Amino acid sequence: MRTPIVAANWKMNKTQAEAREYCRRFRELVPEDFPVELVLFPPFTALGAVRDGLTGSVVKWGAQNVHPEPKGAFTGEISLPMLLEYEISYVIVGHSERRDIFGETDEFIARKIWAVLEAGVRPILCVGEKLEERREGRAREVVERQLSAALEGLSPEDADRVVIAYEPVWAIGTGVPARPEDAQEMAAFIRGWLRARLGDVADGIRIQYGGSVKPGNAGDFLRLPDIDGALVGGASLDPDSFFAIAREGVP
């Protein structure tokens, strides 16, 4: 049985004060025995506020990005040793906004995955095709390229700690989610790819869907056989809306 994982990607939103208020409300909502793993991804500047706001609760937190080197002349970047001081559990790696707006390559993303795993933290690896790639029938080819660049060569023990988020780029922030049957088809393809390389470990790896998930459609994705959670952007900015999504993941 895979424990569902529902994560809030706040992107470049929320001050420390806003993050504190969010955590206060979220803790009111989440019962101690909630059966879905919940992770908040604030901007770096609010990690301390979120850590303080969530310590002692069942809710986890993580970083939206990281640089693979531990330190050095990389102006504006943040390293794993810096993030570990905030007691993070997860790092999002290879989000399409990092790939497309900031030009991150498959090779750079692979270095991040290795660095995150080596630090004892879990990566959420984002993969997904653009609209024209889907129209041209190349969606699987693109996702396969992203998977092999990031995960080829990982030991089964390391791979077991990775979460994969399938996020079709055209569904992110557009209000137009993928069709559930298309999301399931890609998630099954991803699991098949994992099984061919890792054997039975593939059955324990969680695969999230992301892209315009809302309280009203989350259940359509979270009940699919190969989808074990959601990565939520816009609809995670309000704690009640995010918790309504997470409740749809209760097995």
Binding site for ligand PGA (CB under 6 A): 9, 167, 172-173, 210-213, 231-235
Residue nearest to ligand PGA (CB): 233
| R_g of the chain computed on alpha carbons | 17
Give the residue with the Cβ less far from ligand PGA, 46 or 198.
Answer: 46
Element holding 80 (H helix, E strand): helix 80-84
State how far the Cα of 125 lies from the Cα of 127, in Å rounded to an integer.
7
Q: Residue 82 CA to chain centroid, in angstroms? A: 20
In the structure encoding, which two tokens stand for residue 208, read together? 């999230």
Is residue 167 within 8 A of residue 96, CB to CB? The reply is yes
What's the closest the beta carbon of residue 232 comes to ligand PGA, in angstroms? Answer: 5
Residue 45's contacts (CB-CB under 8 Å, 6 or more residues apart) are 15, 16
CA-nearest of 58, 9, 7, 37 to 250 is 37
What's the closest the beta carbon of residue 9 comes to ligand PGA, in angstroms? Answer: 4
What's the closest the beta carbon of residue 236 comes to ligand PGA, in angstroms? Answer: 7
Give the residue numbers marked as catalytic.
95, 167
- Phi and psi, residue 71, nearest 5°: -165, 170
State how far the Cα of 79 lies from the Cα of 73, in Å rounded to an integer.
11
What's the closest the beta carbon of residue 92 comes to ligand PGA, in angstroms? Answer: 8
Give the residue with the Cβ less far from ligand PGA, 53 or 211.
Answer: 211
Give the residue with the Cβ less far from ligand PGA, 234 or 249.
Answer: 234
